[in-house]
Structures are given as structure tokens and as C-alpha cells.
Chain A
Amino acid sequence: GAVVSQHPSRVICKSGTSVKIECRSLDFQATTMFWYRQFPKKSLMLMATSNEGSKATYEQGVEKDKFLINHASLTLSTLTVTSAHPEDSSFYICSARVDPGTDTQYFGPGTRLTVL
């Protein structure tokens, strides 16, 4: 149980275009999802916390107009990188928490974004 999927697994886009990444909890409802960014051989950096039906909470230094997060249902959160630039190239990982009473996050397999 507790499987999280991400789509796409890899995406290459041109500079200036927008890219949407989906994060789905497959066998549970997730009231809260998290979006992380990871650079090569580095740790995970939390970008934002997404709660179903409300606005996402962004970490300091993360541009909310650049990284749009929508959590419209209990099983789906999306991250849209708007007007992508080469410096946005990275590995993006989402995670989901089963419900407010638990403390364990389950992670998706990640999405590698390359902006040309």
C-alpha cells in the first residue's frame, strides 16, 4: 500500500514553455502533499506544502508564480513550472501523507526536467 506515482518521469522542454508534473496517491487519500527539488548528489529541498482544497504554502525563496501548485482532489496534486528556463532543470519529487494523524510521507519516483 501507500503508492505514489508521478507523471511524466522525464520531460524535456524548450526555454519559455510551461511544464506540468502530476503527483497521484494511488491507493490512499492524501490531504497533504509535498513538492521537493533535488540537485545531483544533493539532499531534497522542500519547495511547498500542498493541502487539498486550499492554497499551497511555499518555502522561503521559492517563487509561487513560477512554481504553480494545485491540489484539487485528495489523490492529485500538480506542479506547473511556468516559463521554464535552463536553471529550472532539476529532479522534482513529490510525497504524500496518508492523513493528518500519521507521520510518514511516501514518495513518488520523481520527474527529471530538462530545459533546453
Chain B
Amino acid sequence: AQTVTQSQPEMSVQEAETVTLSCTYDTSESDYYLFWYKQPPSRQMILVIRQEAYKQQNATENRFSVNFQKAAKSFSLKISDSQLGDAAMYFCAYRSPLETSGSRLTFGEGTQLTVNP
């Protein structure tokens, strides 16, 4: 079974600065998907960014980018120019290919990000 590990229960960053959230995973599969979701105090899960394992290029979405290291099974999230609205719980998630798992997501334990003004 796949596992996802987020080793940083809490992180903090100053507004306008950059922060990196770590995520590692364990899998024997070669083709899969990785996601970062954000859960603000409203509890609404919001997709931040996604990465297909077969793509070597790191995904980017505005101020959010990932560092995907397939051999190391690492998938970190970098938030640039941090804003107060970025404060939330961030979850890393793994998804097996559809055929093997029915599209289920395996989540890490989450990292609580605080943005200091």
C-alpha cells in the first residue's frame, strides 16, 4: 500500500517570503499522480497543484510550484511571495493509476502553515 509522509506538522513564514513544505511517499508503481490540497479554516479542500509522475517538468501554478524528485519519491511545495490568505493546512496526496485503485487518494497527515504579517 502507498503511504504519504509530511514530516512538518507546523511551518511558519513571514508575509512576502518563500516557504517550502515537504512530502515524501512510498510506492512501487511507476505511473501515478500527486497533489497538494489546501484546507483553510473554512474546512473547504482546495486543489493547489497537481503533478503527473510521467512528466519530468515540475508543475507550477502562479506562486505555487513543486519540486518533484521521482527517484527520491519526494514532492515538495514551494509557496513564493507568501500571503496572509495562504495560511491553512496543506495536504499532500497520492493517487494510483485508475485501473488499480479506482482513483482513491492517499493523504499525508498535513502541515499547518502560519503566515506572519
A→B interface (CB under 8 Å): 32, 34, 38, 41-44, 46, 49, 57, 91, 93, 95, 97, 100, 103-107, 109-110
Docked Cα-Cα span, A100 to B47, in Å, equals: 18
Q: Which residue of B lies closest to A91 (CB)?
A: B43
Count, chain B residues at interface, CB 8 A: 24
Docked Cα-Cα span, A97 to B104, in Å, equals: 10
Contact B98 A104 (CB under 8 A): no
Residues of B within 8 A of A100 (CB): 98, 103
User: Is B25 in contact with chain A by the CB < 8 A criterion?
Assistant: no
Given known pairs A104-B50, A106-B47, the reply for A43 and B105 (CB within 8 Å) is no
Looking at B16-24, B65-73, B79-87, B106-114, the stretch in contact with chain A turns out to be B106-114
Contact B109 A49 (CB under 8 A): no
Please classify the interface of chain B as helix (H, G, I), strand (E, B), loop, or mixed, using the class held by over half of its residues.
Answer: strand
Residues of A within 8 A of B43 (CB): 38, 91, 93, 109-110
Contact B45 A95 (CB under 8 A): yes
Contact B50 A110 (CB under 8 A): no
Q: Which residue of A lies closest to B99 (CB)?
A: A100
B→A interface (CB under 8 Å): 33, 35, 37, 42-47, 50, 52, 89, 91, 95, 98, 102-105, 107-110, 112
Sorted from nearest, which 7 A-B pairs have the closest CB atoms? A107-B45, A103-B33, A43-B107, A110-B43, A109-B44, A43-B109, A44-B107
Q: How far is the CB of A85 from chain B (nearest CB, A)?
A: 23
Q: How far is the CB of B11 from chain A (nearest CB, A)?
A: 15
Q: How far is the CB of B102 from chain A (nearest CB, A)?
A: 6
27 A-B contacts (beta carbon < 8 Å): A32-B102, A34-B104, A34-B105, A41-B110, A42-B109, A43-B91, A43-B108, A43-B109, A44-B45, A44-B105, A49-B102, A93-B43, A93-B45, A95-B45, A100-B98, A100-B103, A103-B33, A103-B50, A103-B52, A104-B35, A105-B103, A105-B105, A106-B47, A109-B43, A109-B44, A110-B43, A110-B44
